[in-house]
Amino acid sequence: MQKILVIVGSLLLLCSTQAWSANDAEESEKLTSAYVPLGKPMVLNLSSKNKRLTFLQLQADALIKDENSEAIIKTHIPAIRHVLIVLLSEQDAIDMKSPGKREEIRSIATNQIKELMVELADNRDIADILFSSFLVQ
């Protein structure tokens, strides 16, 4: 009886080891994400109700799902920067000092840039747009 239990246990261990090996192979085939800088910092005028000019200096990066798409993303950086410039320059200076508003704008920017990349390159690899530097003066 003990021999049968040992044999059954060995078979179960062998099967589970093979399943883990299959999972490891699947994980190695998964895509590798990467960050792509979106050029030099941008300096923009923000909308302001008073006569004083308010500027935004912003550095942005794209998180991509597949590092093999980096060349495609880099090709379209001018269009991506344009989307960011248009979106951010429409914002009120007072709102941009709020962390909650910044996060909302970052989310909108991510969605607009994802749509842009689908339109321009049929690419769905942008996972997120991140603001790595954000200064309002």
Are 21 and 40 contained in the same domain? no
Are 42 and 76 contained in the same domain? yes
Are 4 and 70 contained in the same domain? no
Is the model's pTM score more than 0.85?
A: no
Are 129 and 76 contained in the same domain? yes
pLDDT of 30 strictly over 80: no
Are 25 and 41 contained in the same domain? no
Q: Average of pLDDT values for 3-16?
A: 47
How many domains is the chain partitioned into structurally?
2
Are 26 and 51 contained in the same domain? no
DSSP states along the chain:
-HHHHHHHHHHHHHHHHHHHHHHHHHHHHS---EEEE-SSPEEEEEB-SSSS-EEEEEEEEEEES-GGGHHHHHHTHHHHHHHHHHHHHTSBTTGGGSHHHHHHHHHHHHHHHHHHHHHHH----EEEEEEEEEEE-
The parent domain of residue 121 ranges over 34-136
pLDDT in tens, 44-88: 998 877 778 889 999 999 999 999 999 999 999 999 999 999 999
For the chain, give the percent of residues with pLDDT over 90.
62
